[in-house]
Amino acid sequence: MRIDIITIHPQLLESPFQHSILKRSIEKGIVEVNLINLRDYSTQKQKQVDDYAFGGGAGMVMTIEPIANCINDLKSKNNYDEIIYTTPDGETLNQKHCNHFSTLNNIIILCGHYKGVDERVREHFITKEISIGDYVLSGGELAAAVLCDGIIRLIPGVLNDETSALSDSFQDDLLAPPVYSRPAEYNNWKVPEILLSGHSANIDKWRFEKSLERTQQRRPDLFDKYKSGH
C-alpha cells in the first residue's frame, strides 16, 4: 500500500512512522509512506499556501492552487483509490473505515490547517473527509497519524499474529474482554479461575460474555447495534 501525505509540517509526521509496528511495516515493504511538503507546490515567493477568506472573517484558508498542483502531480504518476481530507467536520473515523482503507492500494491524505481548505478542493479532489473525533486539533497531521495507524496495522503481514487484529475492540461491534497476565495472584488480587483452567471452549464463552457485559455497560449505543445485527 502506498500512502502519500500532503502536509505543511512533514517533520511533525516523521516520528509516528519511525517506531514499532508502523516502522516495521515500512521496513517489510508492506507499506510505503511519503511525506509531501505542500509548500514545494506553492508558486509564491514566500512559499505561501494560505490566504484571507473571501467575505472577510478571522482565520486563513488553505488555497486551492498549491493543493491542486500537488494532487495533480501525484495523480499523473499513480492511480489513487481515495483522496482523504482530515477535518473536524468529516465522518467520524470508525473501525469500518479502517477496514475499508486497509484494503486499498494507493491513498492520499491531505492534512487540513487554519480555517480549512478552499471548498473547491473538497468538491473536486477529495473523495472522503475524516474526523478523528468531536474536538478541534491545531492541524490535521495528528489525525492523519491516527488514521494511518488504524489502517496499517490491519494490512495482512503487518501484525505477527494476524488473528489479534480480528479480536480487537470494535471489530464486531463489541468491546474486547478484560485480559490478565502473570502473576496469577498479586496483592491477593486474583486472575479469574476460568482463565487458568486450560479449557479453551469455556474460556471463549467467558470472554464472549465479558465482551457483551462490557459493551452493554460502557457503550450501550454499540451494544444496540450489535444486537440489531445478530
Q: Which is nearer to ligand ADE, 145 or 158 (CB)?
A: 145
Give dist(CA 133, CA 143) in Å, integer: 9
Cβ-based neighbours of 145, under 8 Å, separated by 6 or more: 13, 16
88 binds ligand ADE (CB under 6 A): yes
Torsion, Cα 93 94 100 101, to 10 degrees, reads 40
Angle at 20 between CA 14 and CA 22, to 5 degrees: 60
Per CB under 6 A, the list member of 7, 86, 211, 215 interacting with ligand ADE is: 86
For residues 44 to 83, the per-residue mask of contacts with ligand ADE, x marking binding by CB under 6 A and - elsewhere, is ----------------------------------------
Give dist(CA 95, CA 80) in Å, integer: 21
Give dist(CA 37, CA 5) in Å, integer: 9
Q: Which is nearer to ligand ADE, 88 or 150 (CB)?
A: 88
Binding-residue total with ligand ADE (CB under 6 A): 12
Q: Which three cell numbers stand for residue 145?
A: 497519524
Residue pair 110/145 in contact (Cβ under 8 Å)? The answer is no
Residues 180-209 that bind ligand ADE (CB under 6 A): none
Read off the DSSP letter of residue 205: H
Per CB under 6 A, the list member of 15, 21, 124, 133 interacting with ligand ADE is: 133
Give the Cβ contact number of residue 225 at 10 Å.
Answer: 14
Q: Which is nearer to ligand ADE, 11 or 217 (CB)?
A: 11
CB of 199 to ligand ADE, least distance (A): 44
Q: Which is nearer to ligand ADE, 96 or 205 (CB)?
A: 96
87 binds ligand ADE (CB under 6 A): yes
Cell 509526521 sits on residue? 13
Closest-by-Cβ residue to ligand ADE is 143
Stretch that binds ligand ADE, among 18-26, 70-78, 125-133, 160-168 (CB under 6 A): 125-133
Q: Under the rule (CB under 6 A), what is the footprint of ligand ADE? A: 86-88, 112, 131-133, 135-137, 140, 143
